[in-house]
Amino acid sequence: MPRPPRLLGKSSPLPVSPDQALLDRVANPHSDTDYLARFACPEFTCLCPITGQPDFAHFVIDYVPGKWLVESKSLKLYLASFRNHGAFHEDCTVAIGKRLMKTIVPKWLRIGGYWYPRGGIPIDVFWQKGKLPAGVWVPDQGVAPYRGRG
């Protein structure tokens, strides 16, 4: 019997750090069917580990579930826990992907981190793991390349 979600339906304070954040999973009611689930987080924030200045990103997380789904409230709080966390763009993006893989063990997962410019240079970070099942439709992540004011 899977454990019930620990945060759902309860008042939940913002976790102090990603390491302390709970990431819950729930049983996939359609584990016999391959399909894509997508989460978009257009207002992700963290801190530069050197300057302490805020960094901003738009994340798109696509996954093909196996036995588990990520519980969305816990994902929201986990992502928000980066708000006061200092880490480089690459570290945040890959760490989120790896934590999701460990928690829900999907058949396939990809994360696109579309970071807003720092020092005039936008940095986009992409990570994926697993094998995409044949026949699963994976739409474009829909985030336009950074164009500035032009």
Collect all residues with Cβ–Cβ distance below 8 Å to 121 and sequence separation of at least 6. none
∠61-66-68 over CA atoms, to 5°?
75
Q: Identify whether 55 is a catalytic site residue.
A: yes
Instruction: Number of helices (H) and strands (E) in the chain: give both, helices first.
Output: 2, 6
Active-site option among 24, 46, 55, 62? 55
Largest CA distance in the chain: 55
Identified catalytic residue from 34, 48, 91, 124 = 48
Cα(90)–Cα(126) distance, rounded to whole angstroms?
9
Instruction: Confirm whether 46 is a catalytic residue.
Output: no
Active site residues: 48, 55
